[in-house]
């Protein structure tokens, strides 16, 4: 069992304080229980938290720790009762039901009750449990690791923890990098762009700087799994705002706006395409239409050439 993670997590979801819900630092009984729990002395921790739950029966954190400790001490009936109590008391108070369900499922697995362990694990996964490292390291699951249902649930939980590892989120990776940008018509340098993957791979983040001008802009590109499409939100220093949506077609990121009303009157429909020409070359081609797509005019046609010797690494967030 990978209990240190559970110890840290329960601090996060049910913070300590001076109220009746959590014992203060001066409470020697709580300190003794804490010491036994963090050192994984489950027999002593179970005894201590059993007493603490009698003193503070509404304290979800104490019931949670009693459940974990009792499971460690192989007192499974006590563990199940305590964790179910923690789940009820913790609702709306910082203890997610899926966390309690995971602990209940783990207890059933330790008992050898495969059916109920998998059923409860499914409830936890469906509700958003995302600690795939717990599932990988908690030894209670060892007997089920070759089980097809367990494998499917492990995959679902990993997806909960890293949804942007799905293939759709990688479709625009060909644009990631540092680029010199020139006009396709005459080769004149127009600017530079730094494109990176951010937020765990969920966002393709564009940073555009124009040549010989203070103008710059940024766009945020992501796959929308609910609408099954790519979306781009662009903002710039001229108060420009554009929203595109589209899909990858034949190795081309194909973006469209809706007909957008213009300050000067009428509407403007835009069609923006990114052609993956080669590993180090991308064409960005923008067209506009003021008659809802009957006729089109070129807004710009750029060739992106990758800057040699530069690598763009993904970052966690910005």
pTM of the model as a whole: 0.74
CATH superfamily of 168-306: Calycin beta-barrel core domain (2.40.128.20)
Instruction: Find the mean pLDDT for residues 22-46.
Output: 84
Average pLDDT, the chain: 91
Hey, do 3-163 and 168-306 end up sharing a CATH topology, with the first three levels equal?
no
SS (H, E, C) 10-21: HHHHCCCCCCCC
CATH superfamily of 3-163: Tetratricopeptide repeat domain (1.25.40.10)
Structural domain boundaries in the chain? 3-163, 168-306
Question: Which residues neighbour 184 within 8 Å (Cβ) at sequence distance 6 or greater?
Answer: 283, 285, 301, 302, 303
pLDDT tens digits, 56-73: 999 999 999 999 999 999
Structure tokens at 160: 């909960």
Residue 289 contacts residue 269 (beta carbons within 8 Å): yes
Asked if pLDDT for residue 173 goes beyond 50, the answer is yes
DSSP one-letter code for 24? -
């Amino acid at each position: 069992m990978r209990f240190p993670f559970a110890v840290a997590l329960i601090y996060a979801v049910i913070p300590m304080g001076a109220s009746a819900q959590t014992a203060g630092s001066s409470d020697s009984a709580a300190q003794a229980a804490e010491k036994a729990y963090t050192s994984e002395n489950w027999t002593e921790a179970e005894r201590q938290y059993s007493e603490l739950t009698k003193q503070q029966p509404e304290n979800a954190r104490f019931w949670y720790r009693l459940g974990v400790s009792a499971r460690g001490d192989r007192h499974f009936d006590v563990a199940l009762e305590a964790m179910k109590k923690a789940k009820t008391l913790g609702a709306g108070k910082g203890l997610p039901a899926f966390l309690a369900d995971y602990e209940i499922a783990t207890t059933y697995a330790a008992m050898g009750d495969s059916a109920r362990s998998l059923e409860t694990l499914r409830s936890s996964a469906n509700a958003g449990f995302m600690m795939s490292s717990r599932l990988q390291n908690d030894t209670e699951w060892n007997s089920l690791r070759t089980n097809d249902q367990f494998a499917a649930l492990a995959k679902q939980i990993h997806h909960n923890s890293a949804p942007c590892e799905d293939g759709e989120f990688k479709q625009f990776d060909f644009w990631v990098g540092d680029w010199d940008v020139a006009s396709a018509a005459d080769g004149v340098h127009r600017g530079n762009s730094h494109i990176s993957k951010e937020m765990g791979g969920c966002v393709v983040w564009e940073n555009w700087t124009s040549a010989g001008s203070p103008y710059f802009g940024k766009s945020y590109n992501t796959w929308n799994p609910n609408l099954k499409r790519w979306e781009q939100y662009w903002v710039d220093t001229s108060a420009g705002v554009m929203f595109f949506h589209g899909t990858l077609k034949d190795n081309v990121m194909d973006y469209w706006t809706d007909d957008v009303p213009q300050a000067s009157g009428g509407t403007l429909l835009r069609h923006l395409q990114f052609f993956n020409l080669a590993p180090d070359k991308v064409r960005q081609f923008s067209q506009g239409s003021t008659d809802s797509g009957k006729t089109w005019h070129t807004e710009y046609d750029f060739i992106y050439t990758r800057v040699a010797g530069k690598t763009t690494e993904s970052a966690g967030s910005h």
